[in-house]
Amino acid sequence: MHQKRQRPTTGRITINDVAERSGVSIKTVSRVLNNEPSVRPSTRARVEAAVRALDYSPNPSARGLAGTQSRMIGLIYDNPSPNYLFRTITGVLEACNGAGYALSLQAPNPDEPDLAESVTRFVSQSRVDGLLLIPPVGDVVAVLDALEAIGLPYARVSPLDGRPGLGVSVDDRHASAQVVAHLTGLGHRRIGFISGHPEHGATQSRLEGYRLGLLRKDLDFERELVVGGRFDLESGRRAGAYFLDMENPPTAIFASNDEMAAGLLQVALERGWRIPEQLSIAGFDDTPLSRTLWPPLTTVHQPIRHMALRATELLLENLAENLHENLDIHGHAGSKRLGSRVEVFDAPLVERATTAPPPD
């Protein structure tokens, strides 16, 4: 018996097997797989049965090659906190799983100075259908321009600018003002503020919220009560040292993220201050840290997981729309419309144990 040498076939089940078993053409199987209309319910059922019986799942490479989508979205992160990234990924994956999309992760090469370049390369190498951008990458105009130039849909989490596009955000300004309201409500009148990294989007709006909060209580904005930080522990410590060294230190300090609040707390404890009796401290973000510190930190909760989930949904919806609109497009390669939609989430104050009425 002579067997002709064959290319070692993968041995996997293909669309042909499903077609054969259900007695239809492969095109019809394809239609069922892609949920296209105009398939008789009875036929659809038969095909679905065969799919299940054979435990078939379509080859993504073949789909990607033949079709126009890769069913994969990318997430690019530059320098988020571990916790932020974790919650984001969790949300994104939730959305992806429901929709049959895969998630490809990428961090830009730190050696590559040109971020937009890095992003473009990733996109052209991985052929994702769309991109999810989280801060701070999501705020780099050059990146967004580059993506629009190549016509790749994207959605942003917490964009700071008013640029049209898909995104979800939180009203940082409002939340920040709420913190001040909480503090003034306790009786504080001298409230320090540690602002964030100058290049982070949220920095500005949180500062504005602080001012707004003061304004609402007719409190003066005092320059000496605001110090610039970088969203990290060390800058929180520096700011703490600055405030505690003042002749007339504030009775409450609002750090615009939890990490800096932790730094501030360290310095205060180190110097023997009793928190919150002698000094109230508030943070922002509600990272797990805020519950791990002692005393547990009063802070603002950011629904990051949920925001990421929703941003992904917006992106995937957009991808689906673009797909159907393909008919209208005449040769304009990559003339995808991004649409514009930003959903705003609530960021509620979480009162824990670092805030109390001022001494006296």
Chain contacts with DNA (rule: CB under 7 A): 5, 7-10, 12, 14-16, 23-28, 30-31, 33-34, 37-40, 42-44, 56, 58-59, 62-63, 65-68
Size of the site for a second copy (CB under 8 A): 55
Q: What Å distances lie between residue 343 and 106, 252, 321, 346, CA to CA? A: 25, 32, 18, 10
Q: Is 278 in the site for a second copy (CB under 8 A)?
A: no
Between CA 248 and CA 27 the distance in angstroms is 78
The site partner of 34 among a second copy, DNA, none (C-beta below 5 to 8 Å per kind) is DNA
Of 37-45, 46-54, 77-85, 138-146, the window that binds a second copy (rule: CB under 8 A) is: 77-85
Alpha-helix residue ranges (DSSP H) falling in 5-163: 15-22, 26-33, 41-54, 60-66, 82-99, 115-126, 141-150
Q: Is 57 in the site for a second copy (CB under 8 A)?
A: yes
CB of 219 to a second copy, least distance (A): 30
**Which of 57/97 has CB closer to DNA?**
57
Between CA 46 and CA 200 the distance in angstroms is 54
**Which of 22/251 has CB closer to DNA?**
22
Q: Which residue has the tokens 């060294």?
A: 245
Q: Is 59 in the site for a second copy (CB under 8 A)?
A: yes
CB crowding 271-291: b at 16 or more within 10 Å, else e: eebebbeebbbbbbbbbebbe
CB of 54 to DNA, least distance (A): 10
The site partner of 272 among a second copy, DNA, none (C-beta below 5 to 8 Å per kind) is none
Q: Is 340 in the site for a second copy (CB under 8 A)?
A: no
Per the CB < 8 A criterion, the answer to whether 76 and 119 are in contact is yes
Of 29-37, 79-87, 239-247, 249-257, the window that binds a second copy (rule: CB under 8 A) is: 79-87
The site partner of 5 among a second copy, DNA, none (C-beta below 5 to 8 Å per kind) is DNA
Q: Is 134 in the site for a second copy (CB under 8 A)?
A: no
**Which of 272/331 has CB closer to DNA?**
331
Q: Which residue has the tokens 């959305």?
A: 95
Measured between its terminal Cα atoms, the distance across the chain in Å is 101
Phi-psi region of 151 (alpha: psi -120 to 50; beta: other; left: phi over 0): left
Residue 1, number of CB atoms within 10 A of its CB: 2
Per the CB < 8 A criterion, the answer to whether 290 and 352 are in contact is yes
Residues 221-250 within binding reach of a second copy (CB under 8 A): 233
Alpha-helix residue ranges (DSSP H) falling in the chain: 15-22, 26-33, 41-54, 60-66, 82-99, 115-126, 141-150, 172-186, 201-216, 233-245, 258-270, 289-292, 304-325
Q: Is 291 in the site for a second copy (CB under 8 A)?
A: yes
Contacts to a second copy by CB under 8 A:
8, 10-11, 55, 57, 59-65, 68, 70, 72, 82-83, 85-87, 89-90, 93, 97, 102-107, 109, 121, 124-127, 233, 259, 262-263, 265-266, 269-270, 288-289, 291-294, 326, 329, 331, 333-334
